[in-house]
């Protein structure tokens, strides 16, 4: 006698068989009760296999969660797995990469590169998880993270900004540590934006891929890249600034139009510290920016020239604004004033 062993989907994954040697007169056979016992045992085995697979899935799921989220977020997701369902919600997104890392890898070689990148990613990821961020993924030397998904976080913009600040502080230490190999300063560039996005798990049974799609995701990525134009390390959007509770040190960069984003965005630099000369230079920049926004381009240019005479021209944002003014033609005077970064 034989009875199939079924999985949770009703598929046959095995069979339990029973047999009895016949006597010489061939009268002994399998009784109906014995057949039912075999059937019962096959069902018990099937239930056990289902439970074992479910436990394996649960363990695999928890291991995946622990790779991307802080312990408090993991607990929230275990308590209510429905928060991983696809939905639309407001989030704050952070993108980060290491300046000039591609060229660096070509100089130091594969072995040293991967030892170094693992160390960098470990430390920068810890800064994100310490602020209860969710890691969406890695790409080479880049990290993408978000807040307010999958779990609710009322201070999501604040958490993202503090994660960025701590990442930059950690990068200063890492740069010193790896200087014997790199021979140069390692710097992270970070972009942060807040907005409505579609979030959900687009992965498979074997690998979770909980991520976000939406304009704010694209903008955060573009702001990360815009740092190289302005000589900044952290840029945030107006929407992120509007949701900050504490008085973090911000410098307005101004209305910026980047490639791949349809509308002009007010952009701010999130600063770690400023000396007195820098503060005065930034005040001049703000004055020039206000003239620029009023289309008083001659006045803006004059403020910039005077500031550069006093403090030098090391401020890249000031140079970008000056170049923007110098490149204007007559038709541009009718456009909405914006710093246009359309090359990337």
Give per-residue pLDDT as tens, 286-305.
Answer: 999 999 999 999 999 999 99
pLDDT at residue 2, as a whole number: 74
**Is the pLDDT at 329 greater than 80, yes or no?**
no
> Running DSSP on this structure, what letter comes out for residue 178?
T
Measured between alpha carbons, how far is 152 from 240 in angstroms, rounded to an integer? 16
**Is the pLDDT at 34 greater than 90, yes or no?**
no
**Is the pLDDT at 143 greater than 80, yes or no?**
yes
Q: What long-range pairs does 116-125 form, CB within 8 A, spacing at least 24?
A: 116/178, 116/181, 116/182, 117/141, 119/174, 119/177, 119/178, 120/174, 120/186, 123/170, 123/174, 124/96, 124/167, 124/170, 124/171, 124/188
Q: Other CB atoms closer than 10 Å to residue 242's CB: what's the count?
A: 10
pLDDT tens string 55-103 = 655 555 555 566 678 788 878 877 887 888 899 999 999 999 999 888 8
pLDDT at residue 333, as a whole number: 60
Q: How far is CA 283 from CA 79, 189, 289, 293, 312, in A?
A: 50, 24, 10, 15, 14
Mean local confidence (pLDDT), 319-336: 79
Exposed/middle/buried for residue 238 (C-beta within 10 Å: 0-12, 13-18, 19+): middle
Instruction: Give the pTM.
Output: 0.80
Between residues 256 and 279, the one the model is more confident about: 256
Place of tokens 């694209």: 218
Place of tokens 């978000």: 146
pLDDT at residue 74, as a whole number: 79
pLDDT at residue 79, as a whole number: 80
Mean local confidence (pLDDT), 252-256: 96
The band of 44, judged by pLDDT with boundaries at 50, 70 and 90, is confident
pLDDT tens string 166-191 = 999 999 999 999 988 888 899 999 99
Share above pLDDT 90 across residues of the chain, in percent, rounded to a whole number: 54
**Is the pLDDT at 332 greater than 70, yes or no?**
no
Beta strands in the chain (DSSP E): 2-6, 12-17, 87-98, 134-139, 142-147, 188-201, 210-213, 234-237, 250-258, 265-270, 339-341
Can you give the three-state secondary structure of 75-128, one letter per residue?
Answer: HHHHHCHHHHCCEEEEEEEEEEEECCHHHHHHHHCHHHHHHHHHHHHHHHHHHH
Mean local confidence (pLDDT), 237-266: 93
pLDDT tens string 232-246 = 999 999 999 999 988
**Is the pLDDT at 258 greater than 60, yes or no?**
yes
Measured between alpha carbons, how far is 254 from 292 in angstroms, rounded to an integer? 10
Q: Look over the chain and give the mean of its residue pLDDT values, rounded to a whole number.
A: 87
Between residues 193 and 34, the one the model is more confident about: 193
pLDDT at residue 18, as a whole number: 72
**Is the pLDDT at 16 greater than 60, yes or no?**
yes
pLDDT at residue 170, as a whole number: 96
């Amino acid at each position: 006698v034989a009875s199939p062993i079924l999985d949770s989907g009703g598929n046959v994954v095995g069979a339990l068989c029973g047999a009895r040697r016949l006597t010489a007169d061939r009268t002994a056979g399998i009784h109906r009760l014995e057949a039912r016992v075999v059937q019962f045992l096959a069902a018990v085995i099937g239930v056990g296999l289902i439970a074992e697979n479910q436990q394996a899935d649960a363990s695999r799921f928890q291991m995946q969660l622990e790779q991307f989220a802080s312990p408090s977020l993991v607990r929230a997701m275990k308590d209510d797995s429905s928060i991983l369902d696809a939905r639309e919600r407001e989030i704050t997104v952070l993108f980060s990469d290491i300046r000039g890392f591609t060229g660096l890898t070509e100089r130091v070689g594969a072995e040293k590169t991967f030892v170094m990148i693992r160390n960098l990613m470990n430390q920068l990821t810890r800064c994100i998880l310490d602020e209860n961020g969710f890691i969406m993924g890695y790409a080479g030397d880049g990290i993408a993270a978000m807040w307010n998904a999958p779990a609710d976080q009322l201070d999501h913009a604040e958490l993202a900004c503090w994660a960025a600040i701590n990442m930059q502080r950690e990068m200063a230490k890492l740069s010193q540590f790896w200087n014997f190999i790199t021979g140069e300063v390692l710097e992270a560039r970070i972009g942060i934006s807040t907005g409505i996005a579609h979030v959900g798990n687009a992965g498979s049974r074997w690998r979770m891929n909980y991520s976000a799609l939406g304009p704010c995701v694209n903008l955060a990525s573009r702001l990360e890249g815009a740092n190289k134009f302005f000589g900044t390390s952290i840029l945030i959007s107006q929407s992120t600034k509007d949701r900050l509770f504490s008085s973090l040190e911000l410098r307005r960069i101004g209305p910026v139009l980047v490639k791949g984003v349809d509308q002009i965005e007010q952009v701010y630099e999130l600063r770690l510290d400023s000396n007195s000369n820098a503060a005065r230079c930034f005040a001049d920049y703000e004055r020039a920016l206000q003239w620029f926004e009023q289309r008083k381009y001659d006045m803006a240019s004059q403020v910039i020239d005077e500031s550069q005479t006093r403090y030098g021209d090391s401020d890249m944002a000031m140079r970008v604004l000056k170049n923007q003014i110098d490149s204007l033609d007559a038709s541009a005077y009718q456009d909405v004033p914006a710093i246009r970064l359309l090359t990337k």
